[in-house]
Amino acid sequence: MHHVTVIGDSRANPKALRKQLAGILDIDFAPIEQALRSDPGASIIFDVDLSNDTSLLNLKEWLKRKPANAKAIFLTDKASHLQHSRAYALGATDILHRPIDGRELLTKLWGDVASLSADPNNAAIRKSPAVSAAVNTLQSIFSSACLGGPLNSLSIKSAGEAIVGHVETQGLTAWIDTVRTHHSMTYQHCLLVTGLAVAFGQQIGVSRADRQRLSFAGMLHDIGKARIPLAILEKPGRLDEDEMAVMKKHPQFGFDALGTMPTLPAEMLDMVVHHHEYLDGSGYPHGLHASEISDLVRMITIADVFGALIERRCYKPPLSGSAAYQILLDMGPKLDKDLVRAFQPVANLGLHQS
């Protein structure tokens, strides 16, 4: 039987965990204070209270010392966004919901060769300052949005500028390759949409200031998802009608979260609250029509739809750039035809990505 060490604090319940893992994994339990005195190993599992800031103070620094391919898996409560974002902010490579399914834990720890090489502790992300700045910013804004706290517009702006510079100098393909190694689907989606929107702006020759607006909005557009229950957000399949009704609240939640940034220009709020509006009036939350939807919103919407299509989800493989682009074409009157045509070269870059 495989043997692992679980690092926990006073809130951990090694007895319950042993019971859940019986016959699959043999566990040793190490108190966090003691564990942090030695070096991190290759597979680390944490069962700690993620709301206790004091006890977690040293954990982030300690985790930075773990070997490049080490796994750091945090056990969290399924319904807690806050625990998820905190775990990733501390350096989690993965999370697992309580009660623990031993086989799922085994897969996450060792998995198959393909999944091990696809999730190498985000080495690619750590090597790219633009991506790691963007990831750090997303972690902090999603945490703040969960708590209803203020968002730091300066850090979002500087991360947004770094993305514009990265896409300008290294191209969209490199951006997508790196972003796809990120383990959080929500962050990966935001980063992908940001890169696509910036490349789109570059493609059609909008000003650098507008590309920065697109970058800023790309990162923030789904911030309202911080208030959508994870059971809905991460459901491995189609949402039912009631779940979809809840999901459709995320643009308004995003708008509300941005209310904590009083100096935010109106066009930013517009992009966040209206990124699911369609020109034919069939979108949400306000059912706007073409004349009410700005060009920047139209661009974010195209990048958002395309980004979601080329993403890998646990329930669907990523579409190729050409298949995803065909879906944009098939959406007909919902999207701006001229902009969709102008997006084709950007979509073609996606051809190499799947």
Residues that bind Fe ion in the complex, under the rule CB under 5 A: 222, 304
- Closest CB 335 distance from Fe ion, rounded Å: 15
- Contact in structure between 279 and 256 (CB atoms under 8 Å): no
- Closest CB 48 distance from Fe ion, rounded Å: 31
Amino acid at 164: V
Q: Which is nearer to Fe ion, 32 or 247 (CB)?
A: 247
Q: Which is nearer to Fe ion, 222 or 270 (CB)?
A: 222
Q: Which is nearer to Fe ion, 270 or 304 (CB)?
A: 304
- Closest CB 3 distance from Fe ion, rounded Å: 41
- Closest CB 275 distance from Fe ion, rounded Å: 6
Cα 274 from chain centroid (whole Å): 20
Q: Which is nearer to Fe ion, 283 or 321 (CB)?
A: 283
| The token pair that represents 35 in the structure block | 């564990």
What is the H or E stretch that residue 47 is in? strand 43-47
What is the H or E stretch that residue 127 is in? helix 123-127
Provide the 10 A C-beta neighbour count for residue 14: 14
- Closest CB 221 distance from Fe ion, rounded Å: 5
Between β-strands 25-31 and 2-8, what pairing exists: parallel, antiparallel or unpaired?
parallel
Report the distance separating Cα 54 and Cα 69, nearest Å.
Answer: 27
| The token pair that represents 103 in the structure block | 């086989």
Sequence-ordered list of residues with C-beta below 8 angstroms from that of 142, at least 6 positions apart, any chain: 81, 85, 186, 187, 223, 226
Q: Which is nearer to Fe ion, 73 or 303 (CB)?
A: 303
Residue closest to 65 by CA, chosen among 97, 38, 94: 38
- Closest CB 116 distance from Fe ion, rounded Å: 29
Report the distance separating Cα 349 and Cα 273, nearest Å.
Answer: 28
Q: Which is nearer to Fe ion, 50 or 303 (CB)?
A: 303
- Closest CB 305 distance from Fe ion, rounded Å: 8
Cα 79 from chain centroid (whole Å): 17
- Closest CB 185 distance from Fe ion, rounded Å: 11
Q: Which is nearer to Fe ion, 6 or 220 (CB)?
A: 220
Q: Which is nearer to Fe ion, 55 or 252 (CB)?
A: 252
Report the distance separating Cα 326 and Cα 61, nearest Å.
Answer: 46
Sequence-ordered list of residues with C-beta below 8 angstroms from that of 313, at least 6 positions apart, any chain: 185, 236
- Contact in structure between 277 and 303 (CB atoms under 8 Å): no
